[in-house]
Amino acid sequence: MPLFGCTDLPAPPACRTIESTPQQHDTLACIIKADTDTLLWQNAGGLLELPVAQTAETEAEQCTLHREVFAQTGINVEVGKLLLTTKDNMGIYACSQHAGLEGIGQPFAAPAWANDNLSWVKRDVYQLTIRDMQNRDHLIPLRDSLSVLFRQSQTDKE
């Protein structure tokens, strides 16, 4: 559940992950699905960003990503499997949330402790262009990650 009413950063919840991977990437990103769309940051200029974290040598990558996404967003995600590694050594993980964000249609602001220039939006990433992204190099890995996630979900159903 997101904690949008809190004005100060609460203590992070216990790490929620299905695996524990030692540090191997320079940065980490979280793909958060909401219905058929993906949750992305939208900055004051209207550009979209992935939730990204710098790795911490003292904890598993999944715990670092979980802690950072919570601190940035107030959303307590569960960090799943590593989907892919980009050419810039960014690990992109599948993340899930159970905060009811699928039903939210309009952009919604991050909590007071996060960057107040950012808000959450749901987007179909296959409809985006590189001009929509803050970091244009993230669009193709974002799409590739969703393709991997889709293939994994199809395999899991079989």
* Partners of 91 in the β-ladder: 28, 85
Report the SS3 class of residue 92.
strand
Short-list 139, 21, 34, CA closest to 81: 21
- DSSP code at position 13: P
DSSP E strands, 55-105: 78-85, 90-96
Of 60-69, 108-117, 133-142, 147-156, the range with the highest mean pLDDT is 133-142
Structure tokens at 1: 């559940």
Report the pLDDT value the prediction gives residue 97, as an integer from 0 to 100.
79
Domains of the chain are: 27-156 (3.90.79.10)
pLDDT band at 124 (very low <50, low <70, confident <90, very high): very high
Structure tokens at 58: 């003292």
For 153, counting Cβ atoms within 10 Å of its Cβ (0-12 exposed, 13-18 middle, 19+ buried), the class is exposed
Report the pLDDT value the prediction gives residue 12, as an integer from 0 to 100.
66
Give me the percent of the chain exceeding a pLDDT of 70: 78
Q: Is 93 or 16 the better-scoring residue by pLDDT?
A: 93
Q: Is the pLDDT of residue 7 over 60?
A: no
Q: Is the pLDDT of residue 5 over 50?
A: no
Q: Is the pLDDT of residue 74 over 90?
A: no
How many whole angstroms separate alpha carbon 31 and alpha carbon 3? Answer: 20
**Backbone φ/ψ region at 113: left (φ over 0), alpha (ψ -120 to 50), beta:** alpha
Min mean pLDDT across 1-10, 92-101, 111-120 is at 1-10
Short-list 92, 82, 102, 80, CA closest to 33: 102
Q: Is the pTM of this model over 0.85?
A: no
Q: Is 134 or 101 the better-scoring residue by pLDDT?
A: 134
DSSP E strands, the chain: 27-34, 37-42, 48-49, 52-54, 78-85, 90-96, 108-109, 119-123
Of 40-54, 87-101, 110-124, the range with the highest mean pLDDT is 40-54
Instruction: Please compute the mean of the pLDDT values over residues 98-114 and round it to a whole number.
Output: 65
Q: Is the pLDDT of residue 2 over 50?
A: no
Report the pLDDT value the prediction gives residue 35, as an integer from 0 to 100.
77
